[in-house]
Chain A
Amino acid sequence: MKKTVDVSIPIGPVHPCWKEPIRIKCETAGERVRRAEVELGYMKKGIERIMRGRPWQEVMFLAERVCGICSVIHNMVFIEAMEAISGITVPPRAAYLRVIVNELDRIASHLIANFSYCYTIEHETLAMYLLNVREVVLDNLERITGSRINTAYMIPGGVRFDLSEEDAAALLADLATVEAEMRRYVKMFETGPLIGLRSRGIGILTQEAAIEAHAVGPTARASGIPECDQRLRHPTYRELGFAPVSRTEGDNFARVMVRFDEVFQSIGLIRACIDRLPDGPVRGGGDCGPGEIVYRGEAPRGELAYCIRSDEYGRILDISIRTPSIMNIEACSHYMVRDVTSLADVTSTFISADPCIACTER
Protein backbone atom coordinates (compact mmCIF):
# COMPACT_ATOMS: atom_id res chain seq x y z
CA MET A 1 0.00 0.00 0.00
CA LYS A 2 1.32 3.39 -0.98
CA LYS A 3 1.50 5.87 1.80
CA THR A 4 -0.05 9.21 0.77
CA VAL A 5 -0.36 11.05 4.06
CA ASP A 6 2.61 11.45 6.34
CA VAL A 7 1.29 13.27 9.31
CA SER A 8 -1.87 15.08 10.35
CA ILE A 9 -1.15 18.47 11.84
CA PRO A 10 -3.78 20.34 13.84
CA ILE A 11 -3.76 24.14 13.78
CA GLY A 12 -5.70 25.78 16.59
CA PRO A 13 -8.05 26.17 18.41
CA VAL A 14 -5.89 28.79 20.14
CA HIS A 15 -3.43 29.99 17.54
CA PRO A 16 -1.65 33.33 17.09
CA CYS A 17 -3.11 33.80 13.63
CA TRP A 18 -6.75 33.39 14.42
CA LYS A 19 -8.33 35.51 17.02
CA GLU A 20 -11.23 33.13 17.37
CA PRO A 21 -11.10 29.46 18.28
CA ILE A 22 -11.22 27.14 15.29
CA ARG A 23 -9.25 24.02 14.50
CA ILE A 24 -7.93 22.97 11.11
CA LYS A 25 -6.55 19.50 10.68
CA CYS A 26 -4.09 19.38 7.82
CA GLU A 27 -3.08 16.06 6.33
CA THR A 28 0.37 16.56 4.92
CA ALA A 29 2.76 14.70 2.69
CA GLY A 30 6.10 16.28 3.38
CA GLU A 31 5.51 20.00 3.40
CA ARG A 32 2.65 19.77 0.89
CA VAL A 33 -0.87 19.82 2.30
CA ARG A 34 -3.06 17.10 0.84
CA ARG A 35 -6.33 17.74 2.58
CA ALA A 36 -7.68 19.97 5.28
CA GLU A 37 -10.60 19.56 7.58
CA VAL A 38 -12.19 22.34 9.58
CA GLU A 39 -13.51 21.57 13.01
CA LEU A 40 -16.11 24.00 14.32
CA GLY A 41 -18.14 24.21 17.47
CA TYR A 42 -16.14 26.22 19.98
CA MET A 43 -18.37 29.29 19.84
CA LYS A 44 -21.93 27.97 19.72
CA LYS A 45 -24.07 30.28 21.84
CA GLY A 46 -27.51 29.30 20.57
CA ILE A 47 -28.56 32.81 19.54
CA GLU A 48 -31.37 31.62 17.29
CA ARG A 49 -32.84 29.66 20.16
CA ILE A 50 -32.71 32.69 22.44
CA MET A 51 -34.35 34.84 19.76
CA ARG A 52 -37.52 32.78 19.53
CA GLY A 53 -40.55 34.29 21.22
CA ARG A 54 -38.95 37.68 21.76
CA PRO A 55 -40.15 41.06 20.46
CA TRP A 56 -38.16 42.80 17.74
CA GLN A 57 -36.55 45.34 20.02
CA GLU A 58 -34.74 42.54 21.85
CA VAL A 59 -34.00 40.44 18.77
CA MET A 60 -32.50 43.52 17.12
CA PHE A 61 -29.74 43.54 19.74
CA LEU A 62 -29.27 39.81 19.63
CA ALA A 63 -28.96 39.91 15.83
CA GLU A 64 -26.31 42.58 16.18
CA ARG A 65 -24.34 40.38 18.51
CA VAL A 66 -24.22 37.50 16.05
CA CYS A 67 -21.04 39.13 14.84
CA GLY A 68 -19.22 42.07 16.34
CA ILE A 69 -17.20 42.99 13.26
CA CYS A 70 -20.09 43.29 10.80
CA SER A 71 -22.77 44.15 13.35
CA VAL A 72 -24.42 46.89 11.29
CA ILE A 73 -25.36 44.63 8.38
CA HIS A 74 -26.92 42.06 10.73
CA ASN A 75 -29.00 44.83 12.25
CA MET A 76 -29.89 46.17 8.79
CA VAL A 77 -30.92 42.85 7.28
CA PHE A 78 -33.03 41.92 10.29
CA ILE A 79 -34.79 45.30 10.39
CA GLU A 80 -35.37 45.37 6.64
CA ALA A 81 -36.79 41.85 6.81
CA MET A 82 -39.20 42.96 9.55
CA GLU A 83 -40.16 45.97 7.44
CA ALA A 84 -40.77 43.79 4.41
CA ILE A 85 -42.98 41.50 6.51
CA SER A 86 -45.14 44.26 7.92
CA GLY A 87 -45.14 46.61 4.94
CA ILE A 88 -43.39 49.56 6.57
CA THR A 89 -41.90 52.10 4.20
CA VAL A 90 -38.73 53.90 5.16
CA PRO A 91 -38.33 57.67 4.70
CA PRO A 92 -35.78 58.35 1.92
CA ARG A 93 -33.42 60.20 4.26
CA ALA A 94 -33.33 57.22 6.62
CA ALA A 95 -32.63 54.85 3.71
CA TYR A 96 -29.59 56.90 2.68
CA LEU A 97 -28.38 57.17 6.29
CA ARG A 98 -28.56 53.39 6.55
CA VAL A 99 -26.33 53.05 3.51
CA ILE A 100 -23.82 55.53 4.96
CA VAL A 101 -23.53 53.66 8.26
CA ASN A 102 -23.47 50.29 6.54
CA GLU A 103 -20.65 51.34 4.22
CA LEU A 104 -18.63 52.80 7.10
CA ASP A 105 -18.97 49.47 8.86
CA ARG A 106 -17.96 47.66 5.67
CA ILE A 107 -14.79 49.76 5.41
CA ALA A 108 -13.92 48.97 9.03
CA SER A 109 -14.58 45.27 8.48
CA HIS A 110 -12.52 45.08 5.27
CA LEU A 111 -9.68 46.94 6.96
CA ILE A 112 -9.60 44.52 9.85
CA ALA A 113 -9.70 41.59 7.42
CA ASN A 114 -6.75 42.95 5.49
CA PHE A 115 -5.03 43.78 8.77
CA SER A 116 -5.21 40.16 9.83
CA TYR A 117 -3.94 39.02 6.43
CA CYS A 118 -0.94 41.35 6.64
CA TYR A 119 -0.39 40.25 10.24
CA THR A 120 -0.46 36.61 9.17
CA ILE A 121 2.13 37.08 6.44
CA GLU A 122 4.18 39.03 9.03
CA HIS A 123 4.01 42.41 7.35
CA GLU A 124 3.35 44.10 10.65
CA THR A 125 3.99 47.66 9.44
CA LEU A 126 1.23 47.61 6.86
CA ALA A 127 -1.03 45.86 9.35
CA MET A 128 -0.59 48.66 11.88
CA TYR A 129 -1.13 51.31 9.21
CA LEU A 130 -4.44 49.68 8.28
CA LEU A 131 -5.46 49.42 11.93
CA ASN A 132 -4.77 53.11 12.34
CA VAL A 133 -6.94 54.01 9.36
CA ARG A 134 -9.68 51.87 10.85
CA GLU A 135 -9.65 54.03 13.97
CA VAL A 136 -10.51 57.08 11.84
CA VAL A 137 -13.43 55.20 10.30
CA LEU A 138 -14.65 54.07 13.71
CA ASP A 139 -14.48 57.67 14.95
CA ASN A 140 -16.97 58.63 12.28
CA LEU A 141 -19.17 55.67 13.08
CA GLU A 142 -19.10 56.78 16.70
CA ARG A 143 -19.91 60.36 15.81
CA ILE A 144 -23.01 59.31 13.89
CA THR A 145 -24.31 56.47 16.04
CA GLY A 146 -22.74 57.01 19.46
CA SER A 147 -20.78 53.78 19.73
CA ARG A 148 -17.91 52.17 17.88
CA ILE A 149 -19.14 48.61 17.54
CA ASN A 150 -22.66 47.24 18.02
CA THR A 151 -24.27 50.50 17.05
CA ALA A 152 -27.99 49.62 17.22
CA TYR A 153 -28.63 52.34 14.66
CA MET A 154 -31.63 51.08 12.73
CA ILE A 155 -35.18 50.53 13.92
CA PRO A 156 -38.26 49.52 11.89
CA GLY A 157 -39.35 52.59 9.97
CA GLY A 158 -36.13 54.53 10.08
CA VAL A 159 -32.95 55.16 12.00
CA ARG A 160 -32.30 56.37 15.51
CA PHE A 161 -30.19 59.48 15.01
CA ASP A 162 -30.12 62.06 12.25
CA LEU A 163 -26.91 63.20 10.58
CA SER A 164 -26.28 66.88 11.24
CA GLU A 165 -24.50 69.28 8.88
CA GLU A 166 -21.32 69.46 10.98
CA ASP A 167 -21.10 65.69 11.27
CA ALA A 168 -21.51 65.29 7.51
CA ALA A 169 -18.75 67.83 6.90
CA ALA A 170 -16.46 66.06 9.38
CA LEU A 171 -17.28 62.72 7.75
CA LEU A 172 -16.35 64.05 4.29
CA ALA A 173 -13.10 65.52 5.62
CA ASP A 174 -12.16 62.25 7.29
CA LEU A 175 -13.03 60.27 4.16
CA ALA A 176 -10.58 62.40 2.18
CA THR A 177 -7.75 61.54 4.59
CA VAL A 178 -8.75 57.87 4.62
CA GLU A 179 -8.73 57.76 0.83
CA ALA A 180 -5.34 59.46 0.58
CA GLU A 181 -3.79 57.12 3.15
CA MET A 182 -5.36 54.05 1.59
CA ARG A 183 -3.97 54.91 -1.86
CA ARG A 184 -0.50 54.81 -0.29
CA TYR A 185 -1.06 51.52 1.49
CA VAL A 186 -2.60 49.82 -1.54
CA LYS A 187 0.44 50.86 -3.55
CA MET A 188 2.63 49.35 -0.82
CA PHE A 189 0.67 46.13 -1.00
CA GLU A 190 0.65 45.95 -4.79
CA THR A 191 4.34 46.60 -5.27
CA GLY A 192 5.82 44.85 -2.24
CA PRO A 193 7.95 41.99 -3.61
CA LEU A 194 7.74 39.85 -0.47
CA ILE A 195 4.00 40.32 -0.23
CA GLY A 196 3.78 39.18 -3.84
CA LEU A 197 5.77 36.05 -3.05
CA ARG A 198 3.49 35.19 -0.14
CA SER A 199 0.25 36.08 -1.92
CA ARG A 200 0.32 35.69 -5.69
CA GLY A 201 -0.65 32.28 -7.01
CA ILE A 202 -1.32 30.78 -3.61
CA GLY A 203 -4.62 29.31 -2.57
CA ILE A 204 -6.20 29.56 -6.00
CA LEU A 205 -9.96 29.18 -6.18
CA THR A 206 -10.98 28.88 -9.82
CA GLN A 207 -14.33 30.14 -11.04
CA GLU A 208 -15.73 26.62 -11.42
CA ALA A 209 -14.56 25.68 -7.95
CA ALA A 210 -16.08 28.85 -6.51
CA ILE A 211 -19.44 28.00 -8.07
CA GLU A 212 -19.20 24.40 -6.87
CA ALA A 213 -18.31 25.47 -3.34
CA HIS A 214 -21.00 28.20 -3.26
CA ALA A 215 -18.40 30.79 -2.31
CA VAL A 216 -19.84 34.21 -1.56
CA GLY A 217 -18.66 37.76 -1.05
CA PRO A 218 -15.16 39.00 -1.83
CA THR A 219 -13.94 35.40 -2.10
CA ALA A 220 -16.28 34.75 -5.02
CA ARG A 221 -15.72 38.18 -6.53
CA ALA A 222 -11.99 37.53 -6.56
CA SER A 223 -12.70 34.41 -8.63
CA GLY A 224 -14.63 36.36 -11.25
CA ILE A 225 -18.25 36.13 -10.08
CA PRO A 226 -19.37 39.77 -9.67
CA GLU A 227 -23.10 38.92 -9.79
CA CYS A 228 -22.98 37.41 -6.32
CA ASP A 229 -23.15 40.86 -4.72
CA GLN A 230 -26.56 41.22 -3.07
CA ARG A 231 -26.24 44.99 -3.07
CA LEU A 232 -27.22 44.84 -6.75
CA ARG A 233 -30.72 43.88 -5.60
CA HIS A 234 -31.05 46.49 -2.85
CA PRO A 235 -33.28 49.44 -3.88
CA THR A 236 -31.14 52.21 -2.34
CA TYR A 237 -27.91 50.86 -3.80
CA ARG A 238 -29.61 50.59 -7.18
CA GLU A 239 -30.47 54.28 -7.03
CA LEU A 240 -26.84 55.04 -6.33
CA GLY A 241 -25.78 53.12 -9.44
CA PHE A 242 -23.81 50.45 -7.65
CA ALA A 243 -21.52 48.20 -9.69
CA PRO A 244 -19.53 45.44 -7.98
CA VAL A 245 -15.77 45.08 -8.30
CA SER A 246 -14.29 41.78 -9.33
CA ARG A 247 -11.03 40.10 -10.24
CA THR A 248 -10.27 36.89 -12.04
CA GLU A 249 -7.09 35.53 -10.49
CA GLY A 250 -8.74 33.90 -7.49
CA ASP A 251 -5.61 33.78 -5.34
CA ASN A 252 -4.86 35.35 -1.96
CA PHE A 253 -3.64 38.54 -3.60
CA ALA A 254 -6.88 38.98 -5.56
CA ARG A 255 -9.02 38.44 -2.48
CA VAL A 256 -7.16 41.09 -0.51
CA MET A 257 -7.16 43.47 -3.47
CA VAL A 258 -10.93 43.06 -3.96
CA ARG A 259 -11.35 44.16 -0.37
CA PHE A 260 -9.07 47.14 -0.91
CA ASP A 261 -11.05 48.11 -4.01
CA GLU A 262 -14.31 47.82 -2.12
CA VAL A 263 -13.01 50.26 0.47
CA PHE A 264 -12.63 52.89 -2.29
CA GLN A 265 -16.01 51.93 -3.68
CA SER A 266 -17.61 52.35 -0.25
CA ILE A 267 -16.02 55.77 0.10
CA GLY A 268 -17.55 56.72 -3.24
CA LEU A 269 -20.96 55.40 -2.17
CA ILE A 270 -20.87 57.42 1.07
CA ARG A 271 -19.99 60.58 -0.87
CA ALA A 272 -22.83 59.94 -3.30
CA CYS A 273 -25.20 59.40 -0.38
CA ILE A 274 -24.23 62.67 1.30
CA ASP A 275 -24.65 64.47 -2.04
CA ARG A 276 -28.15 63.18 -2.54
CA LEU A 277 -29.25 63.17 1.10
CA PRO A 278 -32.83 64.49 0.99
CA ASP A 279 -34.44 66.47 3.78
CA GLY A 280 -37.23 65.03 5.83
CA PRO A 281 -37.97 62.87 8.82
CA VAL A 282 -35.79 59.93 9.82
CA ARG A 283 -38.48 57.87 11.50
CA GLY A 284 -41.71 56.76 9.97
CA GLY A 285 -43.19 54.65 12.76
CA GLY A 286 -45.28 51.61 11.91
CA ASP A 287 -46.10 48.40 13.70
CA CYS A 288 -44.43 45.09 13.05
CA GLY A 289 -46.93 42.55 11.86
CA PRO A 290 -47.27 38.87 11.07
CA GLY A 291 -45.66 37.12 8.15
CA GLU A 292 -42.85 35.02 6.85
CA ILE A 293 -39.93 36.06 4.67
CA VAL A 294 -36.47 35.20 3.47
CA TYR A 295 -34.43 38.35 3.16
CA ARG A 296 -30.91 38.68 1.83
CA GLY A 297 -28.29 41.35 2.23
CA GLU A 298 -24.64 41.74 1.43
CA ALA A 299 -22.45 41.51 4.51
CA PRO A 300 -18.76 42.43 4.22
CA ARG A 301 -18.07 38.72 3.95
CA GLY A 302 -20.82 37.82 1.51
CA GLU A 303 -24.45 37.03 1.25
CA LEU A 304 -26.37 37.07 4.53
CA ALA A 305 -29.88 35.59 4.68
CA TYR A 306 -32.46 35.85 7.43
CA CYS A 307 -35.50 33.59 7.39
CA ILE A 308 -38.07 35.03 9.79
CA ARG A 309 -41.59 34.13 10.85
CA SER A 310 -43.25 36.63 13.15
CA ASP A 311 -46.62 36.92 14.88
CA GLU A 312 -49.02 39.86 14.89
CA TYR A 313 -47.26 41.71 17.72
CA GLY A 314 -43.85 41.75 16.09
CA ARG A 315 -42.55 38.79 18.08
CA ILE A 316 -40.24 36.34 16.37
CA LEU A 317 -41.75 32.87 16.23
CA ASP A 318 -39.05 31.26 14.19
CA ILE A 319 -35.78 32.51 12.82
CA SER A 320 -32.83 31.05 11.05
CA ILE A 321 -29.74 32.87 9.91
CA ARG A 322 -27.37 31.90 7.16
CA THR A 323 -24.11 33.70 7.48
CA PRO A 324 -21.57 34.02 4.67
CA SER A 325 -18.51 32.62 6.41
CA ILE A 326 -19.64 29.01 6.49
CA MET A 327 -19.55 28.87 2.68
CA ASN A 328 -16.15 30.48 2.48
CA ILE A 329 -14.71 28.21 5.17
CA GLU A 330 -15.90 25.15 3.28
CA ALA A 331 -14.57 26.53 0.00
CA CYS A 332 -11.30 27.20 1.76
CA SER A 333 -10.93 23.76 3.27
CA HIS A 334 -11.93 21.86 0.12
CA TYR A 335 -10.46 23.94 -2.70
CA MET A 336 -8.05 26.64 -1.64
CA VAL A 337 -5.96 24.85 0.94
CA ARG A 338 -5.69 21.67 -1.11
CA ASP A 339 -2.19 21.29 -2.49
CA VAL A 340 -0.67 24.46 -1.11
CA THR A 341 3.06 24.01 -1.09
CA SER A 342 3.77 24.92 2.51
CA LEU A 343 2.05 24.61 5.85
CA ALA A 344 2.71 28.31 6.48
CA ASP A 345 0.40 29.15 3.58
CA VAL A 346 -2.52 27.33 5.17
CA THR A 347 -3.02 30.05 7.77
CA SER A 348 -2.59 32.92 5.32
CA THR A 349 -4.95 31.31 2.80
CA PHE A 350 -7.52 30.69 5.46
CA ILE A 351 -7.30 34.27 6.74
CA SER A 352 -7.49 35.67 3.20
CA ALA A 353 -11.00 34.18 2.91
CA ASP A 354 -11.86 36.36 5.93
CA PRO A 355 -13.55 33.74 8.11
CA CYS A 356 -15.71 34.96 10.96
CA ILE A 357 -16.23 32.14 13.41
CA ALA A 358 -18.62 34.05 15.65
CA CYS A 359 -20.93 34.50 12.65
CA THR A 360 -20.61 30.91 11.58
CA GLU A 361 -21.50 29.25 14.84
CA ARG A 362 -23.61 31.94 16.51
Chain B
Amino acid sequence: MSILQEIKNRVRSKSIHVTFVDVGSCNGCDIEVLACLAPRYDIEQYGIYVHNNPREADVLLVMGAITPQWTDKLRDLWDKIPEPKAAIAVGNCPISGCVFARRHMYIEPPVEKYIPIAAQVPGCPPRPTEILNAILSLAPTLFKDYEEKQR
Protein backbone atom coordinates (compact mmCIF):
# COMPACT_ATOMS: atom_id res chain seq x y z
CA MET B 1 0.00 0.00 0.00
CA SER B 2 2.69 2.44 0.95
CA ILE B 3 4.75 1.59 -2.14
CA LEU B 4 1.73 2.24 -4.30
CA GLN B 5 1.22 5.51 -2.50
CA GLU B 6 4.86 6.41 -3.09
CA ILE B 7 4.49 5.79 -6.80
CA LYS B 8 1.32 7.83 -6.88
CA ASN B 9 2.97 10.73 -5.07
CA ARG B 10 5.87 10.66 -7.46
CA VAL B 11 3.74 10.55 -10.58
CA ARG B 12 1.35 13.21 -9.36
CA SER B 13 4.14 15.65 -8.57
CA LYS B 14 5.71 15.16 -12.02
CA SER B 15 2.61 15.44 -14.16
CA ILE B 16 0.07 18.14 -13.52
CA HIS B 17 -2.75 19.05 -15.81
CA VAL B 18 -3.82 22.64 -15.49
CA THR B 19 -6.93 24.32 -16.77
CA PHE B 20 -7.85 27.96 -16.47
CA VAL B 21 -11.10 29.82 -16.20
CA ASP B 22 -11.61 33.53 -16.63
CA VAL B 23 -14.33 34.79 -14.33
CA GLY B 24 -14.18 38.46 -15.21
CA SER B 25 -10.55 39.54 -15.33
CA CYS B 26 -9.07 42.34 -17.42
CA ASN B 27 -7.18 39.84 -19.64
CA GLY B 28 -3.86 40.77 -18.05
CA CYS B 29 -3.60 37.57 -16.00
CA ASP B 30 -4.92 35.56 -18.95
CA ILE B 31 -2.09 36.53 -21.22
CA GLU B 32 0.45 36.06 -18.46
CA VAL B 33 -0.70 32.47 -18.06
CA LEU B 34 -0.53 32.19 -21.83
CA ALA B 35 3.01 33.56 -21.72
CA CYS B 36 3.94 30.63 -19.46
CA LEU B 37 3.44 28.46 -22.55
CA ALA B 38 6.01 30.47 -24.47
CA PRO B 39 9.41 28.88 -25.06
CA ARG B 40 10.95 31.54 -22.80
CA TYR B 41 9.28 30.06 -19.72
CA ASP B 42 8.12 26.74 -21.21
CA ILE B 43 5.70 25.42 -18.64
CA GLU B 44 5.69 21.97 -20.24
CA GLN B 45 9.31 21.16 -19.41
CA TYR B 46 8.22 20.81 -15.77
CA GLY B 47 5.50 18.35 -16.65
CA ILE B 48 2.71 20.87 -16.43
CA TYR B 49 0.28 20.58 -19.28
CA VAL B 50 -2.29 23.27 -19.93
CA HIS B 51 -5.63 21.76 -20.78
CA ASN B 52 -8.78 23.45 -21.85
CA ASN B 53 -11.08 20.81 -20.48
CA PRO B 54 -11.90 20.89 -16.76
CA ARG B 55 -12.75 17.18 -16.82
CA GLU B 56 -9.11 16.31 -17.54
CA ALA B 57 -7.49 18.73 -15.14
CA ASP B 58 -5.99 18.55 -11.66
CA VAL B 59 -5.40 22.21 -10.97
CA LEU B 60 -7.78 25.04 -11.77
CA LEU B 61 -6.35 28.52 -12.23
CA VAL B 62 -9.02 31.07 -11.38
CA MET B 63 -8.50 34.52 -12.85
CA GLY B 64 -10.57 37.59 -12.33
CA ALA B 65 -13.00 39.01 -9.87
CA ILE B 66 -16.21 37.03 -9.75
CA THR B 67 -18.93 38.60 -11.87
CA PRO B 68 -22.57 37.81 -10.99
CA GLN B 69 -22.84 35.60 -14.09
CA TRP B 70 -20.13 33.31 -12.77
CA THR B 71 -21.22 32.83 -9.15
CA ASP B 72 -23.12 29.62 -9.86
CA LYS B 73 -21.23 28.54 -12.99
CA LEU B 74 -17.85 28.48 -11.23
CA ARG B 75 -19.17 25.98 -8.71
CA ASP B 76 -20.49 23.80 -11.55
CA LEU B 77 -17.13 23.92 -13.26
CA TRP B 78 -15.37 23.04 -10.02
CA ASP B 79 -17.62 20.02 -9.51
CA LYS B 80 -16.67 18.71 -12.95
CA ILE B 81 -12.98 18.44 -12.08
CA PRO B 82 -12.15 14.92 -10.89
CA GLU B 83 -10.56 14.34 -7.49
CA PRO B 84 -7.85 15.03 -6.37
CA LYS B 85 -8.08 18.67 -7.34
CA ALA B 86 -6.97 22.09 -6.26
CA ALA B 87 -7.62 25.68 -7.24
CA ILE B 88 -5.08 28.49 -7.48
CA ALA B 89 -6.17 32.12 -7.48
CA VAL B 90 -4.03 34.02 -10.00
CA GLY B 91 -3.77 37.77 -9.58
CA ASN B 92 -5.22 40.24 -7.14
CA CYS B 93 -8.78 40.06 -8.44
CA PRO B 94 -9.79 36.65 -7.01
CA ILE B 95 -8.03 37.47 -3.74
CA SER B 96 -9.39 40.90 -2.97
CA GLY B 97 -11.05 42.36 -6.05
CA CYS B 98 -8.04 44.55 -6.88
CA VAL B 99 -8.97 48.11 -7.91
CA PHE B 100 -12.52 47.05 -8.68
CA ALA B 101 -13.42 46.45 -5.02
CA ARG B 102 -15.06 49.84 -4.60
CA ARG B 103 -18.47 51.26 -4.02
CA HIS B 104 -20.99 50.55 -6.83
CA MET B 105 -19.18 47.46 -8.06
CA TYR B 106 -20.95 44.55 -9.68
CA ILE B 107 -18.32 41.98 -8.79
CA GLU B 108 -18.42 39.75 -5.73
CA PRO B 109 -14.90 38.90 -4.57
CA PRO B 110 -13.23 36.97 -3.04
CA VAL B 111 -13.33 33.65 -4.83
CA GLU B 112 -13.03 31.67 -1.57
CA LYS B 113 -16.72 32.23 -1.05
CA TYR B 114 -17.48 29.89 -3.93
CA ILE B 115 -14.72 27.30 -4.22
CA PRO B 116 -11.86 26.28 -1.89
CA ILE B 117 -8.59 27.95 -2.88
CA ALA B 118 -5.33 26.12 -2.22
CA ALA B 119 -2.88 28.89 -3.08
CA GLN B 120 -2.80 32.52 -4.09
CA VAL B 121 -0.50 34.29 -6.51
CA PRO B 122 -0.73 38.01 -5.75
CA GLY B 123 0.20 40.67 -8.28
CA CYS B 124 -1.60 42.70 -10.87
CA PRO B 125 -0.80 40.84 -13.03
CA PRO B 126 1.73 38.36 -11.57
CA ARG B 127 4.78 37.64 -13.70
CA PRO B 128 4.80 34.29 -15.53
CA THR B 129 7.71 33.23 -13.31
CA GLU B 130 5.60 33.84 -10.23
CA ILE B 131 2.72 31.78 -11.60
CA LEU B 132 5.15 29.03 -12.56
CA ASN B 133 6.82 29.08 -9.15
CA ALA B 134 3.46 28.87 -7.41
CA ILE B 135 2.38 25.80 -9.38
CA LEU B 136 5.80 24.17 -8.99
CA SER B 137 6.06 24.76 -5.26
CA LEU B 138 2.54 23.51 -4.78
CA ALA B 139 2.93 20.41 -6.94
CA PRO B 140 4.80 18.00 -4.61
CA THR B 141 2.75 18.79 -1.53
CA LEU B 142 -0.68 19.28 -3.00
CA PHE B 143 -1.65 15.74 -3.86
CA LYS B 144 0.72 13.99 -1.50
CA ASP B 145 -0.80 10.97 0.27
CA TYR B 146 -4.19 11.88 -1.05
CA GLU B 147 -5.70 8.45 -0.46
CA GLU B 148 -4.44 8.27 3.11
CA LYS B 149 -5.83 11.67 3.90
CA GLN B 150 -9.18 10.59 2.56
CA ARG B 151 -9.39 7.72 5.04
Q: Does B106 contact A (CB under 8 A)?
A: yes
Q: Does B124 contact A (CB under 8 A)?
A: yes
Within 8 A of A (CB), among B13-33: 21-32
Residues of B close to A283: CB separation below 8 A: none
When the two chains form their complex, are residues B38 and A150 in contact, meaning their CB atoms are under 8 A apart?
no
Q: Count of A-B contacts with CB under 8 A?
A: 116
Given A14-B21, A132-B39, decide whether A68 and B28 contact each other with a Cβ distance below 8 A.
yes
A72 to chain B, nearest CB (A): 12
Whole-angstrom distance between the alpha carbons of A62 and B26 in the complex? 10
Q: Does A185 contact B (CB under 8 A)?
A: no
When the two chains form their complex, are residues A21 and B22 in contact, meaning their CB atoms are under 8 A apart?
yes
Residues of A close to B37: CB separation below 8 A: 128, 131
Residues of B close to A20: CB separation below 8 A: 22, 27, 30
Whole-angstrom distance between the alpha carbons of A14 and B78 in the complex? 13
Within 8 A of B (CB), among A341-362: 356, 358
Segment with Cβ contacts to B, from A39-47, A174-182, A241-249: A39-47
Residues of B close to A356: CB separation below 8 A: 27
Number of A interface residues at 8 Å Cβ cutoff, please give it: 39
When the two chains form their complex, are residues B29 and A131 in contact, meaning their CB atoms are under 8 A apart?
no
B25 to chain A, nearest CB (A): 7
Given A135-B35, A135-B40, decide whether A65 and B67 contact each other with a Cβ distance below 8 A.
no
Whole-angstrom distance between the alpha carbons of A71 and B32 in the complex? 14
When the two chains form their complex, are residues B29 and A47 in contact, meaning their CB atoms are under 8 A apart?
no
A112 to chain B, nearest CB (A): 6
Residues of A close to B35: CB separation below 8 A: 131, 134-135, 138
When the two chains form their complex, are residues A45 and B104 in contact, meaning their CB atoms are under 8 A apart?
no
Segment with Cβ contacts to A, from B1-9, B95-103, B133-141, B143-151: B95-103
- Give the residue among A112, A115, A358 with the most B Cβ atoms within 10 A: A358
B50 to chain A, nearest CB (A): 10
Given A19-B30, A46-B106, A149-B32, decide whether A128 and B100 contact each other with a Cβ distance below 8 A.
no
- Give the residue among A16, A42, A43, A52 with the most B Cβ atoms within 10 A: A43
A122 to chain B, nearest CB (A): 13
Report whether over half of chain A's contact residues are helix, strand or loop; otherwise say mixed. Answer: loop
CB closest residue in chain A, given B102: A50
Residues of B close to A131: CB separation below 8 A: 34-35, 37-39
Whole-angstrom distance between the alpha carbons of A138 and B124 in the complex? 15
Given A16-B52, A131-B37, A149-B31, decide whether A44 and B26 contact each other with a Cβ distance below 8 A.
no
Within 8 A of B (CB), among A1-34: 13-16, 19-21
When the two chains form their complex, are residues B69 and A45 in contact, meaning their CB atoms are under 8 A apart?
no
When the two chains form their complex, are residues B107 and A65 in contact, meaning their CB atoms are under 8 A apart?
no
Whole-angstrom distance between the alpha carbons of A124 and B46 in the complex? 19
Residues of B close to A358: CB separation below 8 A: 25-27
A53 to chain B, nearest CB (A): 9
**29 pairs, CB–CB < 8 Å, chain A vs chain B:** A21-B22, A42-B67, A43-B22, A43-B64, A43-B69, A44-B67, A45-B24, A45-B105, A46-B104, A49-B105, A50-B105, A65-B28, A65-B124, A67-B26, A68-B30, A71-B26, A71-B28, A115-B34, A128-B39, A134-B35, A135-B35, A138-B35, A148-B32, A148-B125, A150-B28, A356-B27, A358-B25, A358-B26, A358-B27
Give residues in A with beta carbon < 8 Å to B: 13-16, 19-21, 41-47, 49-50, 52, 58, 61-62, 65-69, 71, 112, 115, 128, 131-132, 134-135, 138, 148-150, 356, 358
Give residues in B with beta carbon < 8 Å to A: 21-32, 34-35, 37-40, 52-54, 64-65, 67-70, 73, 77, 98-100, 102-107, 124-125, 127
A-B contacts besides A21-B70, A42-B67, 11 pairs, CB < 8 Å = A20-B30, A43-B22, A47-B100, A68-B25, A69-B31, A128-B38, A128-B39, A134-B38, A148-B32, A150-B124, A358-B27
8 pairs of A and B residues whose beta carbons are closest in the complex: A68-B28, A16-B52, A68-B27, A46-B106, A131-B38, A68-B26, A65-B26, A358-B27
